[in-house]
Structure 1
Amino acid sequence: MTHPARDPRLTPARPDLADIALEGLVEAERFVAGAPGRVRVPSAPLRRTPRLNSGIDTEAVMGDAVSVYEVKDGFAYVQLAHDGYVGYLPAEAVGAAEPAPTHRVRALRTFLYPAPDLKRPNRGHLGLGSALAAEGREGDYLRLADGSFVFAPHCEPVGWREPDAAGTAERLVGTPYLWGGRTSLGLDCSGLVQLALELAGLACPRDTDQQERALGQPLPLDDLGGLRRGDLVFWRGHVGMMLDAGRLIHANGHHMAVAVEPLAAAVARIRENSYGPVTSLRRISPSAGS
């Protein structure tokens, strides 16, 4: 039996186990329904294989919904709900799906406290875009379901949107480059774009090639001078976002950080030293992907 090739990044299937929705479409020893779960730690690496020395493909953050297909030897085999990515999370990072998030973090980072008191030792931090379940409010702090407290003005209700995706990206200038990163502690190029667009309420795939196929409308490749704020510039394996007609913001290995530079300089350097020529230009309308 043969079937069309499926993107393994988005297909919860192994030779021994697969999502029951794929029965008849892929070959596996057994098929199971994914159990609903949710990430209950500030962030967790999603790996391609269940080994600590396996590279990080992406990150899951507090509040991310997941489908859990197996928990074994300290790892949970999951699919992330927001972008469909499949891989292995640390088992202790995944908890019950309920309570569902009520708020999202709008600050670049905020601290978790054991009490509504800024002088108490913090329990960790949450990054921009993290989702949390608040059960009430005590003074200036939200009381979370796990007993932690977060400074309320750093958060907004889950329906909050930041419509200027390029403005979100600008807030992250200087964030260190991290392969697979999608938090305000470390980002890769597609992670920066995904975070900025998702905070604008726009669905966004995880990886550069997926984004290039799915996002926005194509623009003439020979018209780099016609770009505007929010347009995306793609190379084979890299992506950046325009801040205006001439400046590009991108997380990149040259600066090892989120950086802003003239588009012409970036195009020349990338063509010569890494990803080759620009492969496409894409413009995203405000309602795209919502």
Structure 2
Amino acid sequence: MPEGQPRSRFSLAGRSSILDARVDAARRDLADIRLAKRVFAPHYALSVPRTAGRSTPVLAQPGAPESVRSEILAGEPFDALEFSGNHIWGVSPIDGSVGFVDADAFTAFWAPTHIVAVRSANVRALPSRDSSSLGALAMGNCVAAIRSSESAFEVDGGYVDADALLPLNALSLDIATAAECLVGAPARPGGRSGAGLDAAGLVFLALWFAGIQAPRFLDLQSAEMGMNLAETAPFVRGQILFFEDHAAVVADAQNAVHVDTNAAVRAPIEALIATHGPVVRRRQP
């Protein structure tokens, strides 16, 4: 540093706060520079934007699939804070989850325009419905799409039906409708897409499609979004029901969508209470 040039300094704005490693990008050796006023670290990092070329899990420990926290979906951005061998450590600007991801799943940043709004969207070689299939995109995947006709969008490598996509700048799907679209999606720890999801992932994705930002993790969802209501209060379509360790989206006064041990299913609310205990909090639509 040239003589006489002032040094850059960081100072905490008040007491250091308790950190949650799932959502606070701070370690003993490194922290996101955006947390500089909250936490002290020997080194701070500026984030480098990347985009996921394929979906990949967010892990608490690199190379440890059992430590999965969430996932970054294909087409989503990721704020990289550290590049280390085959892994990147950083934070998702979509769901706020922090952890390690596979480096080879990411490319240079590009801006998506649309999101897949059906559980599975078939990608075709030609814009006709009967053309050969090139694979499928899961609900929640983001794409850069160009309308090729009234009935189809062109995406990277093929075409999808126009009614399978929603513009990212106009998400206003009904919460319960979004949850119902996911019925049949397999249960998967850390998942939050039509290809697989957990209880908190179902809630996050249903609210995301309604244009509502929600915490990624079940305990944070219940604490930050729930309301205590009288036990006799009726169940209303679109309510989020929080149990001690579970969650569901109300479809009607008797039924809700939730993720059981195998898949997202529609089930009687009474059966959910019998299995998971009483509803401890609700989120009103």
Asked if TM exceeds 0.5, the reply is: yes
**One-letter amino acid of the structure 2 residue matched with residue 227 of structure 1:** F
State whether structure 2 residue 253 is matched by structure 1 residue 280.
Answer: no
**One-letter amino acid of the structure 2 residue matched with residue 105 of structure 1:** V
- The answer for the alignment partner of 1:287 in structure 2 is none
Q: CA deviation at 1:234?
A: 0.9
Distance (Å, rounded) in 1 between the aligned partners of 2:122 and 2:281: 40
Structure 1 residues 113 and 248 mapped into 2: Cα distance closer, same or farther (>3 Å)?
closer
Distance (Å, rounded) in 2 between the aligned partners of 1:134 and 1:163: 19
Distance (Å, rounded) in 1 between the aligned partners of 2:148 and 2:16: 53
- The answer for the alignment partner of 1:130 in structure 2 is 141
Distance (Å, rounded) in 1 between the aligned partners of 2:151 and 2:269: 43
**One-letter amino acid of the structure 1 residue matched with residue 251 of structure 2:** L
Q: CA deviation at 1:27?
A: 3.6
State whether structure 2 residue 41 is matched by structure 1 residue 28.
Answer: yes
- The answer for the alignment partner of 2:81 in structure 1 is 69
Answer with 1 or 2: which has the greater Rg. Answer: 2
The runs of 4+ residues in structure 1 deviating greater than 6 Å are none
Q: CA deviation at 1:104?
A: 1.7
Q: CA deviation at 1:140?
A: 6.0
Q: Secondary structure at the match of 2:203?
A: helix
Distance (Å, rounded) in 1 between the aligned partners of 2:167 and 2:283: 30
Deviations 1:55-93 (A, max 9, x none): 221111122222100121211112000221101111111
- The answer for the alignment partner of 1:149 in structure 2 is 158
- The answer for the alignment partner of 1:198 in structure 2 is 208
Runs of 5+ unmatched residues, structure 1: 272-276, 285-290
Distance (Å, rounded) in 2 between the aligned partners of 1:140 and 1:227: 37
**One-letter amino acid of the structure 2 residue matched with residue 149 of structure 1:** G
TM-score by length of 2: 0.85
State whether structure 2 residue 277 is matched by structure 1 residue 268.
Answer: no
Deviations 1:224-269 (A, max 9, x none): x51210112111221111111221221122xx22122221222122
- Which region of structure 1 is more displaced relative to structure 2, 233-242 or 108-117? 108-117
State whether structure 2 residue 105 is matched by structure 1 residue 93.
Answer: yes
Matches within 5 A, 1:192-271: 192-215=202-225, 218-223=227-232, 225-253=233-261, 256-271=262-277
Distance (Å, rounded) in 2 between the aligned partners of 1:132 and 1:54: 29
Q: CA deviation at 1:4?
A: 2.1
Deviations 1:182-228 (A, max 9, x none): 11121111111111111111111111111112226x242422x5121
Runs of 5+ unmatched residues, structure 2: 1-11
- State the number of aligned residues: 270
Q: Secondary structure at the match of 1:129?
A: coil
Structure 1 residues 53 and 242 mapped into 2: Cα distance closer, same or farther (>3 Å)?
closer
State whether structure 2 residue 51 is matched by structure 1 residue 51.
Answer: no
**In the alignment, is the contact (CA less than 8 A) between 2:59 and 2:65 conserved in 1?**
no
TM-score by length of 1: 0.83
Structure 1 residues 53 and 195 mapped into 2: Cα distance closer, same or farther (>3 Å)?
closer
**In the alignment, is the contact (CA less than 8 A) between 1:104 and 1:130 conserved in 2?**
yes
- The answer for the alignment partner of 2:26 in structure 1 is 13
Q: Secondary structure at the match of 1:170?
A: helix
- The answer for the alignment partner of 1:40 in structure 2 is 53
**One-letter amino acid of the structure 2 residue matched with residue 110 of structure 1:** A
Give the superposed CA RMSD.
2.4
Distance (Å, rounded) in 2 between the aligned partners of 1:16 and 1:125: 41
Q: Secondary structure at the match of 1:268?
A: helix
Distance (Å, rounded) in 2 between the aligned partners of 1:176 and 1:269: 19
Q: CA deviation at 1:24?
A: 5.2
Q: Secondary structure at the match of 2:169?
A: coil
